[in-house]
Amino acid sequence: MRIEILDGNTVIDEIIASPDFAEQHYPGAWRLAAVQDDAAPPPSATAWLIDVGPFFDRFGAAKMAVLTSTDATVRAILTDLQVRKWIDLKRPDVAQGLTYVGSVVPAVTASLRTSILTTAVTDAENLALRKTYFS
């Protein structure tokens, strides 16, 4: 929301924040701006973070071919992913790892890799993360 910061009755600044944030940082010295239509919601801190299980579910029919690969580097990539609390789909090493997996496991096509990395994470795909770390 668009919030006006006040000094008395004078607007001295305008921010995009929640009313809770405004009250916490500017107690009694703020108001909602009259115009709200151009205020973009703040980006979610968890928008591109996915729980480990749902990440692997994104492989669909290719999941078992990936998980049963005997290639040592694929095994190392899988281990690296599985020891994390979540996977950040915007990390370059995640994309690089998927590119390598695709070079060894034919079912992991370029279009599948793109879909895995660029499809926004749904609430159900990072529920454990949000409950444990962001609530």
89 contacts 83 by C-beta, under 8 angstroms: no
2 contacts 33 by C-beta, under 8 angstroms: yes
Same domain, 86 and 60: yes
- pLDDT digits 0-9 by tens, 31-56: 998 877 655 666 677 889 999 999 99
Same domain, 127 and 91: yes
- pLDDT digits 0-9 by tens, 83-108: 999 999 999 999 999 999 999 999 99
**Mean pLDDT within 57-62:** 97
pLDDT for res 33: 86
Q: Does the residue 67 lie in any domain?
A: yes
Instruction: Tell me which long-range contacts 16-24 makes (C-beta under 8 A, separation of at least 24).
Output: 16/40, 16/42, 17/42
Q: Does the residue 37 lie in any domain?
A: no
**pTM, full prediction:** 0.68
Q: Does the residue 100 lie in any domain?
A: yes
pLDDT for res 6: 92
Please give the tally of structural domains in the chain.
Answer: 2
Q: What percent of the chain has pLDDT over 90?
A: 64
Distance CA 53, CA 133 (A): 17
Same domain, 57 and 120: yes
